[in-house]
Amino acid sequence: MIIDNPVLPGTYPDPTICRVGDDYWLVTSTFAYVPGLPVFHSRDLVHWEQVGHVVDRDGMVDLSGATTSGGMYAPTLRHHDGVFYLVCTLVSNAGGARGGNFVVTATDPAGPWSDPVWWEGGGIDPSLFFDDDGRVWAHGTRLAEHPEWDSQTEVWLRALDPETLQLTGPEHILWTGAVRGAVWAEGPHLYTKDGTYYLLASEGGTDFHHALSVARSATVEGPYEGNKGNPVLTHRHLGRGEPVVGVGHADLVEGPDGSWWAVLLGMRTYGGYHYNLGRETFLVPVEWQDGWPVFAPGQGRVPQQVDVPFASPVAVGAPQHVTAGVVRPDDVRWTAMRRPPSAVASPSSDGAGWDLRVQPATLADLGTPTFLGVRQQHQDVDVRAVVQVTGLADGETAGVVVRQSEKDHATLGVTRTGDAYTVRAVHRRGGVDTVLGEAPAGVVDGAVTLGVSARGQDYALVVETPGVPGAARTVAVADGRTLDSVAAGGFTGVWLGVYATSHGTPSTSVVTVGSFAYTPY
């Protein structure tokens, strides 16, 4: 079966994968979005169904004060003796909030997962390796203690106590990078094949210079020799005009038929060197030649289409993991900031929409603003939200948002002033708000339809009168080239969603979003 890459479009970066019998399980990073660390299931590496999240309840991790690109980084998922293990880095931006590496466990990857067990130290991007002799090894990346160049990192290895899940025993330094001068040898994973240990790592940072390198050793503690062909996969030599850039951060998996595959991240550029859909999950075939893994043999690049012979056209899930149309509250794609959606909203009485609790926090704040969103997964897409605005108090606002971060987003909000309602388009860029346009809202029976129509890098912010076909008005068009991580910094793509705020004033208001539809164009 020929399938399109990526297999998970939208911001699903740092994929990690393991196989148990005929089942594949995959998890990706989510940074400060909650619920966090989505868990996907597949039988054929192509059709993926999201079955839950690892971090899905208050109190598991403390994301208070974390910026959008803080939070949960680079998980690793492994399975051993009936138990799933996940290790991850929590990057905290707030003083006093706990950060570092943690491990959680579950007997069912759909959850529930245990509370975290924290490790002391260890840097970032932790991973686990269960050796054939029963030993368990933890490894990760940190800045080199004695660097030869700026941002040189080292991959460390220590034993893990399987009972306490704590690091134990002496430390071994396995790797400091394949290419001299390359920064951030990160995302390390260990594997064994035919009695040889393999270390897979990424170098060059997670943008244009991202690259995969591999080393091997006769013993898990090393020493490791690098592949003479390193980097074994990169797109940096293809230039910025390549359709997919920044490929790296891979994890390997062996299929039941003995075939090998890699999942990895990459970014699809459009409208110039911009990737609003963020870092996505791609699938690449792997072959073993002369004792080394060869990624995308015969091509040497991430293919736009992949032949997966054992893929089923009728498997559960969708190759593109997208449900077009109304996104109901029980859809697993919904996320909030730093706390679960239940902290800011409840499903509406008919189960079709959300009751948003209007709060003082705005989208620019590092708290938990009233925001719910889904990843943008298509370059061209229409989003429409029917908002009952009569629940707003004077001076309060509710609407739709194209969200990159606290400092960079575009909103179309309805603000109440007495009995009048005004719709206003605002583009926040680098922390500075600019009003792009405003108009009377055209509220009918207390409701107004607000929307975003993305066509490439143009994000039209539109208002419609409910029940009046063809009555859409474009209030303004936001420039999407300012809303990706190339322009704004950070590690995430765009989220499309709804929000409400009282602009710093205490409030008890509730605004109902009757429906929210995501429709690829």
- 20, β-bridge pairs: 23
Q: How far apart are CA 251 and CA 212, in angstroms?
A: 10
133 annotated active-site: no
For the record, the structure tokens of 416 come out as 């109440």
Catalytic residue among 44, 56, 154, 186: 186
How many helical (H) and strand (E) elements, i.e. helices and strands, does the chain have?
A: 1, 39
**Residue 284: is it exposed, middle or buried by C-beta count within 10 angstroms (0-12/13-18/19+)?**
buried
Side chain identity at 278, as an amino acid letter? Answer: G
CB 392 within 8 A of CB 505: no
Cα 198 from Cα 210, distance rounded (Å):
20
Q: CA-based angle 5:267:374, to the nearest 5?
A: 85
| Close Cβ partners of 463 (under 8 Å, ≥ 6 residues apart) | 412, 423, 439, 441, 442, 448, 449, 450, 451, 472, 473, 475
Nearest 10 degrees: Cα torsion 69, 456, 46, 211: -50
DSSP state of 378: -
Q: Which residues contact 320 (CB under 8 A, 6 or more apart)?
A: 4, 7, 9, 377
Q: Are 23 and 274 in contact (CB under 8 A)?
A: no
14 catalytic, yes or no? yes
Q: Are 151 and 180 in contact (CB under 8 A)?
A: no
| Number of alpha carbons in the 13 Å side-chain half-sphere of residue 254 | 8
Chain position carrying tokens 């169904």: 49
Q: Estimate to the nearest angstrom the gap between the alpha carbon of 53 and the chain centroid.
A: 12
Q: C-alpha distances in angstroms, 2 versus 64, 118, 303, 322?
A: 44, 42, 11, 18
Q: How many CA atoms lie within 13 A of 358 on its CB side?
A: 28
The structure tokens 């999201």 sit at 50
Contact 399, 511 (CB under 8 A): no
Q: Which are the catalytic amino acids?
A: 14, 186
